[in-house]
Amino acid sequence: MKCRPSPNRSEHAFGAHVAAVLLATTALVTSAQAQQAAATPRGPAVEEVVVTAEKRSSTVQSAPLSITALSGAQLKAQGINTVSQLAEQTPGISLRTSGPGQTELEMRGMSSSGGSSPTVGFYLDETPLSPPAASLNGKVVIDPDLFDLNRVEVLRGPQGTLYGAGSMGGTIKVITNQPNLTTYSGAIDLTLSGTVGGGANPTGKIMLNLPIVDNKLALRLVGTEGYVSGWDDRFVVQPFPNAVNPGPACPGWPGCNRGTITQGDVKQTIPAVNWEWQQSARAALLAKPIDDLSIDTMFMFQRITMGGFNDYDQSPGDAHLGHYEPFNINEPFSDDFKLASTTITYDLDFATLTSATSYWTRRESYTQDESESIYNLFQYFGFQNVPFTPVTFTETDLSHQFSEEVRLASSGDGRFKWLGGVFYSQLESVYDDTNEQPLLADFSAGGAAANPRGIIFDAYNPYHITQYAVFGEASYKVTNSIKLTGGLRWFSYSTNVQEEQNGIGTFYGNATPQVADYSEAASGFTPKINLSWEPTGDLTVYATASKGFRPGGVNLPIPPQIGCALTTETYRPDSSWEYELGEKARMFDNRLTVNAAVYYISWSNIQQLINQPCGYPLTTNAGSARSYGPEFELTGRLTDELTINLSAAYTNAELTSVNPVVSASAPSLVPGAAILNIPRYTESTSLVYRRPINDKLDFFARITNSLVGPSVDTSYQRENLQSYDLVGIRSGISSDRWTGTFFIDNLTNTHAQLSINTTSFGWVTPSLTRVATNQPLTVGVNLAYKF
């Protein structure tokens, strides 16, 4: 199978043309300013969003880094309610997902595959939200509902200086609305839609802002509840076909391909199994006892429950959306999240002191049907008379983290600005799984007496990561238009894992537990330097060199009797250096903004997930890689009524060298092989029309197209994922207080291939591959009211 799309001249031309924007924009802005100097304003300008990407307030256009920011109003107008929807409409972001709460995020070719930490940082206000460290489901972030947000900031490129570990590819910040100290207000948001192949999807959201002591104390309450009907079915097929076509592509396995599944009798059909129910509540209390002091405390709870995963079996394919299995086995998913945080800000006149303290807990639980995989696996082990019996694999990931950051940032608009701080976090992530079937007890080492419950693989592994950091950043205006910024972060982390596992597929081959303790630690520095030039208030040109890193970690033990080529227990940190050149420009009375950047990333000691032929995956330092490409964003008010938004990114992310030990066990990993889960190109275009009907009402309409190019993912072997295109339309009427919207999502009813085997947290076998997909064509109405 071809693992890497061959670059063609059109792809290189696309990159060259976008890169040329950096050189052409300066002349264009100068010319535009000359034309507009004598002109009168012709209408509303492009909306500009205030951000805190540099841990102090600025705007998207003035911040000298590649950043996309969407205000809460923009999110609402675009119909973006989840982080996955945000990723779909933001070029340069890629995802690996099988549903809400099961999403890995990548940026600029930095795949999160494998490892104990992500490559993209994820923040809710000032709180870093780390994914589970040892989950077989991946580096999955929470999926908060995006109702009543102030904004979302997407920071591209290594953010190791200000945001630390796990931000090699970038950082996403979700910023909530703070309580208003003076005004009673509220909002209600109601949605009802229907999905092809599913049913009705009702959602209700509410916000109340309650000043308690005028200008001193206020409370903001937010609650949401929503239901999404499923669209994937579960089919119970008997007799169930055996795997077919054994051969060198899958040595030792009973077959490389699934038997013809449609030739069996469908004994039972369970429709729409992947339904989703989400509930969330948020309470924020803002106290301002004196003018210079503010204390912002927030409590949050969120629960996601699903009946099944958003995926289908690759065989028989997307024309038969669903999962085929020999027994009727439910595959529920749940994700509970609780957060308490306090941010204290004190104005010292010469500087602002900020303390951000948070503690959160998260419990994810998944169950997967493993009947087919276990049957094939036991034959691989040499048990030819194994019965075809129902088997489940249940994984529970229990995570909790305490974090504290204290920083001091200079005040004023002088030539010299500085910021310094310290950071501490302690994450415990427990990986707990159960994989048992008493009917298989006889196949244990020592027989049923040594393993009466028929344990195949049970594990309980507490994973601890402790981090310390000291960081600082300073900028100096060399002239009125040239600014030099430098930053440095010292980090130190330690990882400790206590592992206990037993079962047929573990070290002793029976119920006797294997207990082990592993540790890994490192320290170092992540520097950053940035030079920006602002010849006018409407143009910024910048160049940046920065470093990012990700902690090393520990694999689950692999028993030697299985015969896997790689059994490495620990892996070292990986790091990256990025070099970026970019520009940000406003033209024609700020009716047009053009932001572009080109970057090159050198990735050392890359952590990669290897799915071995023996069925045991592990993370190892595979070698080195590089990623490069251009990014482009344009927003223009074509007329007072019509706005266009266009953004695109091209990413070339490949391995440049491979550890010989790794290539021996994974022959497809060779120099030039594509990094996992990184689309070659992404593009999003939207046209927005808005026109007054009368003094109180406006009509609006929006059409959005999002294109995602081909990528590579891995199951038993590396597989190519096809490109896909999603189209959505929204139209309605709004006033100052209420908005009514009619919408169609996924207008063409595209079944996108989002990722491969995201939910195979049990055993990876060559004949069963599951494809995660998106929600089919959905039509609905939304009514929003503010008071």
- Cα–Cα distance for residue pair 122/135, rounded to 1 Å: 17
Q: Are 642 and 620 in contact (CB under 8 A)?
A: no
Q: What distance, in Å, lies between the first and last C-alpha atoms of the chain? A: 58
Instruction: Report whether pLDDT(10) > 60.
Output: no
150 lies in a domain?
yes
**Beta strand extents in 551-671 (DSSP E only):** 553-554, 570-571, 574-587, 592-611, 617-637, 642-650, 652-658
- Cα–Cα distance for residue pair 378/517, rounded to 1 Å: 29
Instruction: Please tell me the predicted confidence (pLDDT) of residue 781.
Output: 98
- Cα–Cα distance for residue pair 77/734, rounded to 1 Å: 11
Q: Please, which residues have CB within 8 angstroms of residue 6's CB and are 6 or more apart in sequence?
A: none
**Beta strand extents in 72-126 (DSSP E only):** 93-97, 103-107, 120-124
For CA atoms 175, 176, 181, 187, the dihedral sign is positive
The pair phi, psi for residue 72, each rounded to 5°, is -60, -40
Closest CA to 105 of 176, 173, 170, 175: 170
Choice between 747 and 101, residue whose per-residue pLDDT is larger: 747
Q: What is the mean pLDDT of residues 400-413?
A: 95
Q: Residue 767: what residue type?
A: S
Instruction: Report whether pLDDT(15) > 50.
Output: no
The pair phi, psi for residue 77, each rounded to 5°, is -65, -30
Per-residue pLDDT tens digits for 234-285? 999 999 999 999 998 888 899 999 999 888 889 999 999 999 999 999 999 9
- Cα–Cα distance for residue pair 739/786, rounded to 1 Å: 9
Instruction: Report whether pLDDT(25) > 70.
Output: no
Instruction: Please tell me the predicted confidence (pLDDT) of residue 23.
Output: 44
Alpha carbons within 13 angstroms on the beta-carbon side of residue 369 total 24
Q: Please, which residues have CB within 8 angstroms of residue 248's CB and are 6 or more apart in sequence?
A: none
Beta-bridged to residue 748, according to DSSP, are: none
What band does 140 get if pLDDT is binned at 50, 70 and 90?
A: confident
Q: What is the mean pLDDT of residues 449-455?
A: 96
Instruction: Please tell me the predicted confidence (pLDDT) of residue 608.
Output: 84
Per-residue pLDDT tens digits for 349-365? 999 999 999 999 999 99
Q: Residue 162: what residue type?
A: L
Per-residue pLDDT tens digits for 542-570? 999 999 998 988 887 777 777 777 888 88
Q: CA gyration radius for the chain?
A: 27
Instruction: Report whether pLDDT(18) > 50.
Output: no
Closest CA to 602 of 575, 638, 629: 575
Instruction: Report whether pLDDT(627) > 50.
Output: yes
351 lies in a domain?
yes
334 lies in a domain?
yes
Q: Are 402 and 359 in contact (CB under 8 A)?
A: yes
Q: Residue 456 is part of a domain; what is its CATH number?
A: 2.40.170.20
Query: How many CB atoms within 10 Å of residue 691?
Result: 12
What does the mean pLDDT of the chain come to? 89
The pair phi, psi for residue 590, each rounded to 5°, is 65, 25
Instruction: Report whether pLDDT(331) > 70.
Output: yes
Q: Element (H or E) spanning 476, and its range?
A: strand 458-477
Instruction: Report whether pLDDT(784) > 60.
Output: yes
Q: Hunting for tokens 């959905």 — which residue is that?
A: 778
The pairing of beta strand 322-325 with beta strand 233-238: parallel
Q: What is the DSSP string of 399-435?
A: EEEEEEEEEEEE-SSSSEEEEEEEEEEEEEEEEEEE-
Q: What is the mean pLDDT of residues 40-68?
A: 76
507 lies in a domain?
yes
The pairing of beta strand 738-745 with beta strand 778-786: antiparallel
Q: Are 135 and 556 in contact (CB under 8 A)?
A: no
For CA atoms 166, 168, 174, 180, the dihedral sign is positive
Instruction: Please tell me the predicted confidence (pLDDT) of residue 1.
Output: 38
3 lies in a domain?
no
613 lies in a domain?
yes
597 lies in a domain?
yes
Structure-block tokens of residue 567: 């059994």
Residue 647 belongs to domain spanning: 9-786
Q: Please, which residues have CB within 8 angstroms of residue 88's CB and are 6 or more apart in sequence?
A: 95, 706, 708, 726
Q: What is the mean pLDDT of residues 326-347?
A: 96
Q: Are 18 and 631 in contact (CB under 8 A)?
A: yes
538 lies in a domain?
yes
Least confident window among 8-17, 510-519, 698-707: 8-17
The number of folded domains in the chain is 1
